[in-house]
Protein backbone atom coordinates (compact mmCIF):
# COMPACT_ATOMS: atom_id res chain seq x y z
CA UNK A 1 0.00 0.00 0.00
CA UNK A 2 0.96 3.64 -0.53
CA UNK A 3 0.47 5.75 2.63
CA UNK A 4 0.31 9.51 2.17
CA UNK A 5 -0.59 12.66 4.08
CA UNK A 6 -2.84 14.83 1.92
CA UNK A 7 -4.25 18.33 1.87
CA UNK A 8 -7.96 17.47 1.64
CA UNK A 9 -9.22 20.94 2.59
CA UNK A 10 -7.14 24.15 2.63
CA UNK A 11 -5.81 24.98 6.11
CA UNK A 12 -7.12 21.78 7.74
CA UNK A 13 -4.87 19.02 9.20
CA UNK A 14 -3.45 16.68 6.57
CA UNK A 15 -5.38 13.45 6.13
CA UNK A 16 -3.68 10.04 6.18
CA UNK A 17 -4.79 8.09 3.12
CA UNK A 18 -3.93 4.60 1.85
CA UNK A 19 -4.03 3.62 -1.81
CA UNK A 20 -2.83 0.65 -3.84
CA UNK A 21 0.79 1.01 -5.05
CA UNK A 22 0.86 2.51 -8.55
CA UNK A 23 2.30 0.37 -11.35
CA UNK A 24 4.86 2.42 -13.32
CA UNK A 25 4.20 2.61 -17.09
CA UNK A 26 6.42 3.87 -19.93
CA UNK A 27 9.44 5.67 -18.43
CA UNK A 28 7.79 6.19 -15.03
CA UNK A 29 9.61 5.19 -11.86
CA UNK A 30 8.15 4.27 -8.47
CA UNK A 31 10.30 5.33 -5.51
CA UNK A 32 10.09 4.33 -1.86
CA UNK A 33 10.38 7.73 -0.14
CA UNK A 34 13.26 7.98 2.32
CA UNK A 35 13.26 11.71 3.15
CA UNK A 36 11.06 14.68 2.29
CA UNK A 37 11.86 18.26 3.25
CA UNK A 38 9.12 20.57 4.56
CA UNK A 39 9.25 23.74 2.44
CA UNK A 40 7.64 27.15 2.76
CA UNK A 41 5.79 26.47 -0.51
CA UNK A 42 4.07 23.55 1.21
CA UNK A 43 2.52 26.16 3.51
CA UNK A 44 1.10 27.99 0.50
CA UNK A 45 -0.35 24.76 -0.84
CA UNK A 46 -1.80 24.01 2.60
CA UNK A 47 -3.23 27.54 2.93
CA UNK A 48 -4.51 27.40 -0.64
CA UNK A 49 -2.87 30.47 -2.15
CA UNK A 50 0.34 32.34 -2.97
CA UNK A 51 0.13 36.04 -2.06
CA UNK A 52 1.36 38.27 -4.91
CA UNK A 53 0.96 41.52 -2.97
CA UNK A 54 -1.48 44.37 -3.49
CA UNK A 55 -4.37 42.01 -2.73
CA UNK A 56 -3.52 39.72 -5.67
CA UNK A 57 -3.38 35.99 -5.02
CA UNK A 58 -2.57 32.87 -7.03
CA UNK A 59 -4.76 30.05 -5.82
CA UNK A 60 -2.81 26.85 -5.17
CA UNK A 61 -3.63 23.33 -6.34
CA UNK A 62 -5.47 24.74 -9.38
CA UNK A 63 -8.25 26.42 -7.39
CA UNK A 64 -8.59 23.36 -5.22
CA UNK A 65 -9.59 21.15 -8.16
CA UNK A 66 -6.47 19.03 -7.52
CA UNK A 67 -7.44 18.27 -3.92
CA UNK A 68 -6.86 15.94 -2.25
CA UNK A 69 -3.17 16.53 -3.01
CA UNK A 70 -0.06 15.08 -1.33
CA UNK A 71 2.48 17.90 -0.80
CA UNK A 72 6.25 17.44 -0.66
CA UNK A 73 8.78 18.28 -3.38
CA UNK A 74 12.15 17.75 -1.64
CA UNK A 75 12.36 13.99 -2.05
CA UNK A 76 15.08 11.36 -1.83
CA UNK A 77 14.17 7.73 -2.10
CA UNK A 78 15.00 4.30 -3.43
CA UNK A 79 13.84 2.92 -6.76
CA UNK A 80 11.23 0.18 -6.26
CA UNK A 81 10.25 -0.46 -9.88
CA UNK A 82 10.30 1.21 -13.29
CA UNK A 83 8.15 1.13 -16.41
CA UNK A 84 9.16 -1.05 -19.40
CA UNK A 85 10.68 1.89 -21.34
CA UNK A 86 12.95 3.04 -18.48
CA UNK A 87 16.54 2.06 -19.23
CA UNK A 88 18.56 3.52 -16.35
CA UNK A 89 16.35 3.17 -13.28
CA UNK A 90 17.04 -0.06 -11.40
CA UNK A 91 15.53 -1.30 -8.14
CA UNK A 92 17.59 -0.30 -5.11
CA UNK A 93 19.16 2.89 -6.56
CA UNK A 94 19.06 5.85 -4.18
CA UNK A 95 17.96 8.97 -6.03
CA UNK A 96 17.01 12.64 -5.60
CA UNK A 97 13.87 13.74 -7.47
CA UNK A 98 13.90 16.89 -9.63
CA UNK A 99 10.33 18.05 -8.93
CA UNK A 100 9.97 21.10 -11.23
CA UNK A 101 8.52 19.23 -14.18
CA UNK A 102 6.84 21.13 -17.01
CA UNK A 103 4.82 20.25 -20.09
CA UNK A 104 8.00 19.51 -22.05
CA UNK A 105 6.80 21.27 -25.21
CA UNK A 106 6.42 25.03 -24.49
CA UNK A 107 9.37 27.37 -25.34
CA UNK A 108 10.86 27.54 -21.79
CA UNK A 109 10.58 23.73 -21.44
CA UNK A 110 12.29 23.24 -24.80
CA UNK A 111 15.13 25.50 -23.55
CA UNK A 112 15.62 23.21 -20.55
CA UNK A 113 13.79 25.54 -18.19
CA UNK A 114 10.92 23.27 -17.19
CA UNK A 115 10.71 25.15 -13.87
CA UNK A 116 9.48 28.16 -15.90
CA UNK A 117 6.93 26.13 -17.89
CA UNK A 118 4.26 28.24 -19.56
CA UNK A 119 2.03 25.27 -20.31
CA UNK A 120 0.57 22.45 -18.25
CA UNK A 121 2.95 22.25 -15.28
CA UNK A 122 3.36 18.92 -13.54
CA UNK A 123 5.59 19.91 -10.62
CA UNK A 124 5.66 17.07 -8.10
CA UNK A 125 4.05 17.97 -4.77
CA UNK A 126 2.55 21.14 -6.32
CA UNK A 127 0.38 19.82 -9.16
CA UNK A 128 0.81 16.06 -8.70
CA UNK A 129 1.13 13.92 -5.57
CA UNK A 130 4.44 14.46 -3.75
CA UNK A 131 6.65 13.11 -1.02
CA UNK A 132 4.63 13.33 2.20
CA UNK A 133 4.15 9.65 1.50
CA UNK A 134 5.65 6.18 1.63
CA UNK A 135 6.02 6.14 -2.18
CA UNK A 136 6.05 8.62 -5.05
CA UNK A 137 5.56 8.04 -8.78
CA UNK A 138 8.02 10.04 -10.93
CA UNK A 139 6.81 10.56 -14.53
CA UNK A 140 10.19 9.95 -16.22
CA UNK A 141 13.52 8.49 -15.11
CA UNK A 142 15.33 11.57 -16.46
CA UNK A 143 14.17 13.45 -13.33
CA UNK A 144 16.13 11.15 -10.98
CA UNK A 145 19.62 12.20 -9.90
CA UNK A 146 22.35 10.15 -8.25
CA UNK A 147 23.29 11.61 -4.84
CA UNK A 148 26.42 9.48 -4.43
CA UNK A 149 27.52 9.46 -0.81
CA UNK A 150 25.57 12.60 0.20
CA UNK A 151 23.34 12.35 3.26
CA UNK A 152 19.81 11.66 1.91
CA UNK A 153 18.17 14.17 4.28
CA UNK A 154 20.54 16.97 3.24
CA UNK A 155 20.33 15.97 -0.43
CA UNK A 156 16.52 16.16 -0.26
CA UNK A 157 16.76 19.88 0.63
CA UNK A 158 18.78 20.46 -2.53
CA UNK A 159 15.72 19.80 -4.74
CA UNK A 160 14.07 23.07 -3.72
CA UNK A 161 15.76 25.19 -1.08
CA UNK A 162 19.26 24.28 -2.25
CA UNK A 163 18.39 24.64 -5.93
CA UNK A 164 16.63 27.97 -5.33
CA UNK A 165 19.68 29.28 -3.47
CA UNK A 166 22.03 27.90 -6.14
CA UNK A 167 20.15 29.44 -9.06
CA UNK A 168 19.89 32.84 -7.32
CA UNK A 169 23.62 32.94 -6.48
CA UNK A 170 24.54 31.75 -9.97
CA UNK A 171 22.80 34.85 -11.40
CA UNK A 172 25.24 36.99 -9.37
CA UNK A 173 28.33 35.20 -10.65
CA UNK A 174 31.79 35.46 -9.06
CA UNK A 175 32.42 38.60 -7.01
CA UNK A 176 35.69 40.42 -6.39
CA UNK A 177 37.11 39.77 -2.93
CA UNK A 178 36.53 43.40 -1.95
CA UNK A 179 32.85 43.37 -2.95
CA UNK A 180 30.09 42.70 -0.46
CA UNK A 181 27.24 40.20 -0.75
CA UNK A 182 24.06 40.72 1.28
CA UNK A 183 21.60 37.91 1.99
CA UNK A 184 18.23 39.09 3.31
CA UNK A 185 16.26 36.36 5.10
CA UNK A 186 17.86 33.30 6.69
CA UNK A 187 15.04 30.76 6.53
CA UNK A 188 15.64 27.35 4.93
CA UNK A 189 16.50 28.78 1.51
CA UNK A 190 18.50 31.71 2.84
CA UNK A 191 20.62 29.45 5.04
CA UNK A 192 21.26 27.13 2.09
CA UNK A 193 22.52 30.24 0.26
CA UNK A 194 24.79 31.13 3.17
CA UNK A 195 26.23 27.61 2.99
CA UNK A 196 26.83 27.94 -0.77
CA UNK A 197 27.87 31.61 -0.97
CA UNK A 198 31.62 31.30 -0.38
CA UNK A 199 32.00 28.42 -2.84
CA UNK A 200 29.86 30.04 -5.54
CA UNK A 201 30.64 33.77 -5.33
CA UNK A 202 34.02 33.72 -3.58
CA UNK A 203 32.68 35.99 -0.84
CA UNK A 204 31.31 35.32 2.67
CA UNK A 205 27.90 37.03 2.92
CA UNK A 206 26.48 39.57 5.32
CA UNK A 207 23.11 38.23 6.50
CA UNK A 208 20.10 40.28 7.57
CA UNK A 209 17.34 38.56 9.54
CA UNK A 210 14.92 39.64 12.25
CA UNK A 211 15.38 36.43 14.26
CA UNK A 212 18.50 36.17 16.50
CA UNK A 213 18.44 32.33 16.25
CA UNK A 214 18.59 32.51 12.44
CA UNK A 215 21.38 35.11 12.61
CA UNK A 216 23.35 32.77 14.89
CA UNK A 217 22.80 29.87 12.47
CA UNK A 218 24.00 32.07 9.58
CA UNK A 219 27.20 32.94 11.44
CA UNK A 220 27.82 29.24 12.10
CA UNK A 221 27.46 28.56 8.38
CA UNK A 222 30.20 31.07 7.57
CA UNK A 223 28.45 34.45 7.27
CA UNK A 224 30.86 37.34 7.72
CA UNK A 225 28.33 39.33 9.73
CA UNK A 226 24.68 39.01 10.74
CA UNK A 227 22.57 42.08 11.30
CA UNK A 228 19.04 42.93 12.43
CA UNK A 229 17.52 44.96 9.56
CA UNK A 230 14.93 46.46 11.93
CA UNK A 231 17.57 47.90 14.29
CA UNK A 232 17.78 51.70 14.27
CA UNK A 233 19.97 52.92 11.40
CA UNK A 234 20.75 49.38 10.22
CA UNK A 235 20.77 50.27 6.51
CA UNK A 236 22.87 53.40 7.05
CA UNK A 237 25.40 51.44 9.09
CA UNK A 238 25.59 48.76 6.40
CA UNK A 239 26.13 51.37 3.67
CA UNK A 240 28.83 53.00 5.75
CA UNK A 241 30.61 49.73 6.53
CA UNK A 242 30.52 48.40 2.95
CA UNK A 243 30.19 51.45 0.71
CA UNK A 244 27.09 49.66 -0.61
CA UNK A 245 26.90 46.01 -1.61
CA UNK A 246 27.58 44.83 -5.16
CA UNK A 247 25.20 41.89 -4.83
CA UNK A 248 22.15 41.09 -2.75
CA UNK A 249 19.56 38.32 -2.61
CA UNK A 250 16.15 38.85 -1.03
CA UNK A 251 14.87 35.51 0.24
CA UNK A 252 11.87 37.06 2.01
CA UNK A 253 10.04 39.04 -0.66
CA UNK A 254 8.23 41.55 1.54
CA UNK A 255 8.08 45.32 0.97
CA UNK A 256 10.65 45.85 3.71
CA UNK A 257 13.07 43.07 2.75
CA UNK A 258 13.11 44.24 -0.89
CA UNK A 259 13.57 47.84 0.25
CA UNK A 260 16.48 46.82 2.46
CA UNK A 261 18.21 44.77 -0.24
CA UNK A 262 17.65 47.35 -2.97
CA UNK A 263 18.62 50.23 -0.69
CA UNK A 264 21.89 48.52 0.19
CA UNK A 265 23.12 48.34 -3.45
CA UNK A 266 26.04 50.37 -4.66
CA UNK A 267 26.41 51.65 -8.23
CA UNK A 268 26.37 48.72 -10.64
CA UNK A 269 24.79 46.51 -7.99
CA UNK A 270 22.49 43.55 -8.61
CA UNK A 271 19.56 42.42 -6.46
CA UNK A 272 18.16 38.95 -7.05
CA UNK A 273 14.70 38.56 -5.58
CA UNK A 274 13.45 35.12 -4.60
CA UNK A 275 11.04 35.23 -1.64
CA UNK A 276 7.29 35.01 -2.09
CA UNK A 277 5.99 36.87 0.96
CA UNK A 278 3.76 39.04 -1.19
CA UNK A 279 5.56 42.40 -1.21
CA UNK A 280 5.32 45.17 -3.76
CA UNK A 281 7.97 47.79 -4.52
CA UNK A 282 8.34 51.27 -5.91
CA UNK A 283 11.68 52.85 -6.73
CA UNK A 284 13.04 55.84 -8.57
CA UNK A 285 13.55 54.89 -12.22
CA UNK A 286 15.98 57.79 -12.61
CA UNK A 287 18.24 56.62 -9.77
CA UNK A 288 17.92 53.04 -11.01
CA UNK A 289 19.22 54.18 -14.40
CA UNK A 290 21.97 56.48 -13.13
CA UNK A 291 23.26 53.89 -10.68
CA UNK A 292 23.13 51.15 -13.33
CA UNK A 293 21.26 48.82 -11.00
CA UNK A 294 19.80 45.42 -11.82
CA UNK A 295 16.89 43.51 -10.27
CA UNK A 296 16.28 39.89 -11.30
CA UNK A 297 13.61 37.45 -10.25
CA UNK A 298 14.71 33.87 -9.62
CA UNK A 299 12.29 30.96 -9.21
CA UNK A 300 13.65 27.57 -8.09
CA UNK A 301 16.03 26.30 -10.82
CA UNK A 302 16.55 23.97 -13.76
CA UNK A 303 17.36 20.27 -13.97
CA UNK A 304 20.84 21.21 -15.21
CA UNK A 305 21.36 23.51 -12.23
CA UNK A 306 20.33 20.74 -9.82
CA UNK A 307 22.94 18.46 -11.46
CA UNK A 308 25.54 21.24 -11.04
CA UNK A 309 24.58 21.69 -7.38
CA UNK A 310 24.92 17.96 -6.64
CA UNK A 311 28.32 17.96 -8.32
CA UNK A 312 29.39 20.98 -6.25
CA UNK A 313 28.15 19.37 -3.02
CA UNK A 314 30.09 16.20 -3.77
CA UNK A 315 33.35 17.95 -4.59
CA UNK A 316 33.36 20.84 -2.12
CA UNK A 317 33.20 20.82 1.66
CA UNK A 318 30.04 22.88 2.28
CA UNK A 319 29.06 23.79 5.83
CA UNK A 320 26.13 21.55 6.88
CA UNK A 321 22.64 23.07 6.94
CA UNK A 322 20.85 22.50 10.29
CA UNK A 323 18.34 19.68 9.74
CA UNK A 324 15.68 18.40 12.14
CA UNK A 325 14.40 14.92 11.32
CA UNK A 326 10.76 14.09 12.06
CA UNK A 327 8.62 11.03 11.35
CA UNK A 328 6.17 11.30 8.47
CA UNK A 329 3.16 11.28 10.82
CA UNK A 330 4.42 14.64 12.13
CA UNK A 331 3.67 16.30 8.76
CA UNK A 332 0.92 18.61 10.00
CA UNK A 333 2.81 19.51 13.17
CA UNK A 334 5.89 20.29 11.06
CA UNK A 335 3.90 22.65 8.81
CA UNK A 336 2.55 24.38 11.93
CA UNK A 337 6.07 24.85 13.31
CA UNK A 338 7.25 26.31 10.00
CA UNK A 339 4.25 28.63 9.89
CA UNK A 340 5.03 29.85 13.40
CA UNK A 341 8.60 30.68 12.27
CA UNK A 342 10.05 28.18 14.75
CA UNK A 343 12.23 26.28 12.30
CA UNK A 344 15.96 26.98 11.96
CA UNK A 345 17.17 25.30 8.78
CA UNK A 346 14.93 22.50 7.54
CA UNK A 347 12.55 19.91 8.94
CA UNK A 348 12.93 16.70 6.94
CA UNK A 349 10.25 14.02 7.23
CA UNK A 350 11.40 10.40 7.24
CA UNK A 351 8.96 7.98 5.66
ZN1 LIG B 1 10.09 24.28 -1.96
ZN1 LIG C 1 6.26 23.78 -20.56
**pLDDT tens digits along 77-99:** 999 999 999 999 999 999 999 99
Compute, in angstroms, the gap from residue 267 CA to the centroid of ligand 1. 32
Backbone angles phi, psi at 200, to 5 degrees: -90, -35
% of the chain residues with pLDDT over 70: 98
Q: Where are the beta strands (DSSP E) in 54-166?
A: 56-59, 74-82, 94-97, 135-138, 144-146
Cα 100 to middle of ligand 2, angstroms:
10
User: Is residue 74 predicted with pLDDT exceeding 80?
Assistant: yes
Q: Write out the residue limits of the CATH 3.90.180.10 domain(s) in the chain.
A: 2-146+321-350
pLDDT, position 343: 87
pLDDT in tens, 259-277: 999 999 999 999 999 998 8
Predicted confidence at residue 53, as pLDDT, reads 65
Round to whole Å and give the CA distance between 121 and 118: 7
In the three-class reduction of DSSP (H, G, I as helix; E, B as strand; rest coil), residue 5 is classed as: strand
Q: Give the tens place of pLDDT for each residue, 328-342.
A: 999 999 999 999 988
pLDDT of residue 66: 86
Question: Average pLDDT of 294-298?
Answer: 98
Work out the number of other CB atoms within 10 angstroms of the CB of residue 88: 14
Q: Which ligand is nearest to the CA of 40?
A: 1
* Cis preceding-peptide flag for 68 (omega within 30 of 0): yes
Q: What is the pLDDT of residue 344?
A: 87
Quote the ligand 1 centre to 175 CA distance (angstroms): 27
User: Residue 308's pLDDT band (boundaries 50, 70, 90)?
Assistant: very high
Residue 58 reports pLDDT greater than 80: no
Which ligand is nearest to the Cα of residue 121, counting in written order? 2
Q: How far apart are the CA of 303 and the centre of ligand 2, in A? A: 13
The predicted structure's pLDDT at residue 49: 80
CA angle 27/153/38 to nearest 5° reads: 85
Structure confidence by residue, pLDDT tens digits, 274-287: 998 889 999 999 99
Question: What is the mean pLDDT of the segment spanning 194-218?
Answer: 97
Number of the ligand closest to the Cα of 189: 1
Centre of ligand 2 to C-alpha 274, Å, is 21
User: Domain 2-146+321-350 classified CATH 3.90.180.10?
Assistant: yes
Give one DSSP letter per residue of 226-244, joined into a string: EE-TTSTTHHHHHHHHHSS
Calculate Rg over the CA atoms of the chain: 20
Q: What is the mean pLDDT of residues 166-178?
A: 97
Q: How many A from CA of 70 to the centre of ligand 1? A: 14
Higher pLDDT, 160 or 66: 160
41 CA to centre of ligand 1 in angstroms: 5
pLDDT reported for residue 52: 65
Q: Is the pLDDT of residue 57 over 80?
A: no
CA of 116 to the centre of ligand 2 (A): 7
In the CATH hierarchy, which fold is given to the domain comprising 162-297?
Rossmann fold (3.40.50)
The pLDDT, as a whole number, for residue 278 is 86
**pLDDT greater than 90 at residue 294:** yes
As a whole number of angstroms, the distance between CA 305 and CA 73 comes to 16
Distance 126 CA to ligand 2 centre (A): 15
Which ligand lies nearest to the CA atom of residue 106 in the structure? Answer: 2
> How many residues in the chain?
351
At residue 320 the predicted structure's pLDDT band, cuts being 50, 70 and 90, is confident
Ligand that comes closest to the CA of residue 111: 2
The CATH 3.40.50.720 portion of the chain extends over 162-297
pLDDT tens-digit readout, 87-134: 999 999 999 999 999 999 999 999 999 999 999 999 999 999 999 999
What local confidence, expressed as pLDDT, does residue 158 receive?
Answer: 96
What is the reported pLDDT for 64?
74
Amino acid sequence: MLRCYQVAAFGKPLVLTEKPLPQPAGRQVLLRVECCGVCHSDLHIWDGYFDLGGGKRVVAAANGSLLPLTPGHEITGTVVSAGPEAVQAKAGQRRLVFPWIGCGTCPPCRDGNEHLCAGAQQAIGIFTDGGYASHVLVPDEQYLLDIGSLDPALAATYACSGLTAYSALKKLGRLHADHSLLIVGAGGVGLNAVALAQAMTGVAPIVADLDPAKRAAALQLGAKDAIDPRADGALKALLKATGGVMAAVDFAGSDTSFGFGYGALRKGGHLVTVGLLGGTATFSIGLHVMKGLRVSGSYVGSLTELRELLALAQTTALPPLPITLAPLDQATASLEKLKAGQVVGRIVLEA
